Amino acid sequence: MPPTKPSCNARWRPSRPEAIATSTSQPGHHQTAIQTLPLTLAVDNGTVIVLDALRKQRHLTDYTGDGVSEALLAECIAQAESLLRHARAALGDP
């Protein structure tokens, strides 16, 4: 039986981060995953804005074929490492 979606309740919080899953076969799954980070891992809004901007840049490069600058690549890696550290700490994994 597929999981049911929560009602439209702004106070709803999942009991576990995996309670919100995104389908990787659906358009927008990266955006959905980023937007749920404040609920699933208590990621601050500033970080979500940065991650979403990086997602948009990646999306553009996929369609334009433009290369990625070294600075953008370094920022992506730094943000990914930071998010991984945050996730491990939030989930109690050293």
Instruction: Give, for all 94 residues of the chain, the pLDDT tens digit.
Output: 444 444 444 444 455 545 555 555 565 778 888 999 999 999 999 999 999 999 999 888 888 888 888 999 999 999 999 999 999 999 988 6
pTM, full prediction:
0.66
DSSP string, the chain: -PPPPPPS-TT---SSGGGS---TTSTTHHHHHHHTHHHHT---HHHHHHHHHHHHHHHHHHHH-----HHHHHHHHHHHHHHHHHHHHHTT--
